[in-house]
């Protein structure tokens, strides 16, 4: 029987924690891109307010540069006038009627079921994605607890999985993989290896290097051949992070699985008309999903599937 301290790291306790974390990930996926957008616009306003810099970079005359400086001032003032936006505040509200969501309405899965998938005030539909993300996170945390056993290391891998889920949701919605998620994931993987919790440090460093350079090389080969960009830099950083956590030997299986499943999903979306013209299927969610499969299956089993063991 596990010690009482380890009960908190058991698969069922981690599953409950995952439900709660999944509720928070829904908030992250919805708000974080908007937080970043506001930050980027503030940076743009600051840059456009430098009339001398504009003149040097564009060759504009003083009058034209001053006009842009005036516009940047208006943009900055408009952004500063907006209410504060963070992950914790303001409280979640119905986007249709502004109803402030009570704590019992926000309970993972149960709140959505109790409301029958509709706002308590205006009865507007609430997307089933919210409880699905909560359930997926709870299931994933439970599987990690089962895979690694009731020990603190399981909590570390749950954090790894939560960051992958958050990055995947944002990438799926926006086709952006924020550095604010991929780079902490990369450095956390290297730090965990340095502490002796995951891989040997040299394997983690090699995994990060191979992960980044492999997709970077494909990107430039494709661009030089076709003149088009086939993926974003966020994918390089995400695969580098996966390499830091899982090792260089898992890079090729992750890329192969992600490419095959991503291509299949893209074809299905194209055939069903769910892929809008000019849009593309983001690669990040498939990289993350393949990384989670490798984590749960274990490197020996994955290599055995490929006949490389």
pLDDT in tens, 78-134: 999 999 999 988 888 888 888 888 888 889 999 999 999 999 889 999 999 999 999
Classify residue 165: in a domain, yes or no.
no
Question: Are 138 and 184 part of one and the same domain?
Answer: no
Classify residue 34: in a domain, yes or no.
yes
Give the N- to C-terminal CA distance of the chain in Å, as an integer: 34
Question: Are 194 and 103 part of one and the same domain?
Answer: no
Angle at 174 between CA 172 and CA 179, to 5 degrees: 95
Ramachandran angles phi, psi of 134, nearest 5°: -65, -45
pLDDT tens-place string over residues 8-44: 889 999 999 999 999 999 999 999 999 999 999 999 9
Under 8 Å between Cβ of 207 and 244: yes
Q: In which domain, by residue range, is 255 found?
A: 175-309
Q: How many residues does the chain have?
A: 309
Question: Are 85 and 203 part of one and the same domain?
Answer: no
The pTM for the full model equals: 0.92
Classify residue 28: in a domain, yes or no.
yes
Closest CA to 6 of 140, 148, 110: 148
The pair of structure tokens assigned to 274 is: 């769910």
120, 143, 166 - which closes a domain? 143
Question: Are 114 and 197 part of one and the same domain?
Answer: no
Question: Are 91 and 187 part of one and the same domain?
Answer: no
Classify residue 279: in a domain, yes or no.
yes
CA distance 213 to 241: 12
Q: Domain tally for the chain?
A: 2
Classify residue 246: in a domain, yes or no.
yes
DSSP 307: T
CA distance 55 to 38: 25
């Amino acid at each position: 029987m596990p010690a009482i301290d380890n009960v908190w790291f058991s698969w069922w306790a981690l599953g409950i924690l995952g439900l709660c974390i999944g509720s928070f990930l829904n908030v992250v996926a919805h708000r974080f891109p908007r937080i970043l957008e506001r930050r980027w616009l503030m940076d743009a306003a600051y840059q456009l307010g430098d009339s001398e810099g504009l003149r040097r970079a564009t060759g504009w005359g003083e009058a034209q540069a001053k006009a842009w400086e005036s516009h940047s001032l208006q943009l900055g003032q408009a952004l500063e006038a907006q209410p504060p936006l963070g992950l914790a505040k303001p409280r979640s509200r119905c986007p249709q009627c502004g109803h402030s969501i009570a704590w019992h309405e926000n309970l993972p899965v149960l709140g959505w079921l109790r409301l029958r998938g509709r706002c308590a005030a205006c009865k507007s539909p609430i997307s089933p994605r919210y409880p699905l993300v909560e359930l997926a996170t709870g299931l994933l945390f439970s599987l990690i607890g089962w895979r690694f056993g009731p020990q603190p290391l399981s909590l570390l891998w749950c954090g790894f999985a939560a960051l992958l889920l958050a990055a995947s949701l944002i990438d799926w919605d926006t086709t952006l993989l924020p550095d604010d998620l991929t780079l902490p994931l990369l450095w956390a993987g290297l730090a965990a290896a340095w502490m002796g919790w995951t891989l040997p440090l040299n394997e983690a460093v090699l995994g990060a290097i191979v992960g980044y350079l492999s997709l970077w090389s494909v990107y430039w080969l494709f661009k030089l051949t076709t003149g088009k960009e086939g993926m974003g830099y966020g994918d390089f950083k995400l695969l580098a992070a996966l390499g830091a956590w899982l090792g260089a030997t898992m890079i090729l299986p992750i890329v192969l699985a992600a490419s095959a499943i991503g291509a299949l999903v893209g074809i299905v979306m194209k055939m069903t008309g769910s892929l809008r013209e000019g849009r593309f299927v983001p690669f990040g969610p498939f990289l993350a999903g393949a990384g989670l499969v490798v984590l749960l299956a274990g490197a020996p089993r994955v290599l055995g599937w490929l006949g490389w063991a």
